Amino acid sequence: MQNQQTVMLLFLGFLIVAVGANQIAKIFQRVKLPIITGLLIIGIMAGPFVLGLVPKASRTDLNFINDISLAFIAFAAAAELYLKDLRNRLKSIKWMTFGQLVVTFIMSAICVFFLADQINFMDGMTTRPKIAISILVATIFVARSPASAIAVINEVRAKGPFTQTAMGVTVLKDFLVIVLFAINMSLANVLVKGTDLNFWFLIILILELAASFILGYFLGRLLIIVLSLNIHKHAKTVYILGLGYTMYILYYFLKDYTLANFGKEFLIEPLLICIIGSFLVTNYSKYRYEFIKIIEDVGPGIYVAFFTLTGATMSIDLLLQVWPIALIFFAVRLVSMIIGAYIGGSLAGDPPLFNRIGWMPYITQAGVGLGLATIVANTFPEWGIQLSTLIIAVIVLNQIVGPPLFKWSLNMVGESRERHETPEFDGIRDAIIFGLESQSVALAKQLSDHGWQVKIATRKKNLNPDEYPNCDIHTIKSLSLEAFESLEASKSEAIVLMLTDEENLELCELIYQHVGTKDVVVRLNHHYNFNNFHKLGALVVDPSTAIVSLMDHFVRSPQATSLLLGMQKGQDTIDLEVLNPNLQGLSLRDIRFPADIIILSIRRKGQMIISHGYTRLRRGDWVTMVGSEESLEKMTLLFDKNPS
């Protein structure tokens, strides 16, 4: 009972630290470092060697957090191994995986073995434990980070053969690493304990792997049953994490039971079991999307807990001792990956550029590598903690160097699709509407009445200008960058897309990558395309729901709705950017607004702020206000760069 209370207090204390770490670690993203690196560093600061917020007892008492996290990491890795998406790049993935796996493993194992005498805890060891440590380190060095790879790919919206190969190799390699780790862990147990490599060792190893594959199959079936249940998503999440943790409970039970009754440990591999189960759900069930959505939703919390606890339980005194050798290990891994990538790419017949930079996507390590290091530390307490600390030091280096190099490589091969910088306001409010029809003409006239300069772009030919009086209509040949240049789209404040969803999406992609217009408004035709436009930052209007929502607001708040829609005589709403340097730092209560002006909200760096009198303005803020047309004109002059 006392022990349970201690664990509960430790868990609650750690939970507070983890919540704080999640907030503080976001600062690291501002300097282009992964949030995982921030969590590790904050965990170190909170650990027993610095602030002491997380005591040493956490290593054993909170080990269940590691187990749950490792099961989740295995689920997340296998969920990315969707065979249909990788079909076109299987040859490149196969040979690149071969080059990375074989070359990195062999080179790393040889280097670690010959550097053994330079490593404190390996100095004086006999040959057998040196071999055991060498193959374990080499195995972990092969591991990659699917989570980090996905983060970089999503950040730059990368798409193309290089990206597909990198993602396929990353996930496939981690799957093979876990199989290799299971074999090498059994081999390391034999080498460290001094028993002979005989026929029975091979039989037991085969049985352990077979048992892991069978349990993985049954776990997959159980996951499918859970996903098929008509219960709340949160309940499914708990069951899924519980099933993953159950594999670790089974691992500990079989290990202790077989040792006590047969004098020999029977070791199933929980990570391998979870990978196989997730692979089955992803590729052979109809619940793939729901499973991935659950993983995406719960992922951030799991990563915060795992990486913060990993940092908090690191031995800082040992970390300071191993930094020189960690740099050497980092260099060894880097060189082996460069050679492996070149060999693999050459065998696959990839382009020369791919072969030269093919190593850059695979440097980053995180979840799987840290997880394997944790398993080694728990399995071999005599030297496992020291080895784990050394590996974590290498992983931290990889986390700092890897993501920028991966991002750079995506830019080099032209598969990065980052958002174009939004051009500065040129003082003229202009808009472009794609699509010529009654609604687009009516919109153009209404915007013109409010002082906007509007162009309507269409591919229709032989138009009669008399049918569209007071409309500036431009005929374009195609939906291309040339069309945007001819329309001077880079100067526009807003672009409205009123074509088919396919055409609108094509234009959205071009605007996102090459134009950077502040506001892109899309009229949706089919609701299932909503997320595609939302990911590109577009403002989506769904005609099927817009009328109902509008009438709902009229019923519940007719005055406010009519005011915001500009239906009150002499009243209107407007968004103004703070360009006047004299307004920088002023609070709203200190600015002399006309009496009928109401400030509704302030948008700052993409975040909406509900304003009050003490809210201070900053250059670049977008302020939404409502008032009379005369007062809004005064506010436009006040917010401009050179107010009169």
Q: What is the mean pLDDT of residues 473-501?
A: 82
Q: Are residues 582 and 504 in the same domain?
A: no
Q: Are residues 453 and 404 in the same domain?
A: no
**Cβ atoms within 10 A of the Cβ of 511, count?**
23
Report the alpha-carbon distance of residue 371 to residue 441 in Å, rounded: 60
Query: What percent of the chain has pLDDT above 70?
Result: 85
Q: Are residues 262 and 136 in the same domain?
A: yes
Provide the domain limits for residue 92: 68-412
Q: What is the mean pLDDT of residues 414-437?
A: 71
Identify the pLDDT of residue 644.
46
Q: What is the mean pLDDT of residues 509-516?
A: 75
Query: Is position 154 within any domain?
Result: yes
Q: Are residues 450 and 390 in the same domain?
A: no
Amino acid at 402: G
Instruction: Quote the number of domains for the chain.
Output: 3
pLDDT in tens, 237-276: 889 889 888 988 898 888 888 888 887 778 788 878 888 8
Domain end (from 521, 547, 573): 547
Q: Is 100 within 8 Å of 337 (Cβ atoms)? A: yes
Phi first, then psi: give them for residue 31, nearest 5 degrees: -105, 25
Identify the pLDDT of residue 430.
82
Most confident of 262-271, 287-296, 412-421: 287-296
Q: Are residues 123 and 170 in the same domain?
A: yes
Q: What angle do CA 447, 450, 451 make, to 5 degrees?
A: 95
Domain end (from 547, 576, 599): 547
Report the alpha-carbon distance of residue 380 to residue 136 in Å, rounded: 12
pLDDT band for 222, please (50, 70, 90 cuts). Answer: very high
Q: Are residues 167 and 141 in the same domain?
A: yes
User: Sheet holding 472-475: strands in order across?
Assistant: 472-475, 453-458, 430-434, 494-497, 519-523, 539-541
Identify the pLDDT of residue 218.
92
What mean pLDDT value characterizes the chain? 78
Q: Which one is predicted more confidently, 30 or 576?
A: 576
Q: Are residues 283 and 342 in the same domain?
A: yes
Question: What is the three-class DSSP state of 627?
Answer: strand
pLDDT at 206 over 50: yes
Beta carbons within 8 Å of 214's beta carbon, 6+ residues apart: none
Domain end (from 359, 382, 412): 412
pLDDT at 366 over 70: no
pLDDT at 562 over 70: no
Q: What's the longest Cα–Cα distance across the chain?
A: 95
Query: Is position 399 within any domain?
Result: yes
Identify the pLDDT of residue 196.
59
Query: Is position 15 within any domain?
Result: no
Q: Are residues 513 and 607 in the same domain?
A: no
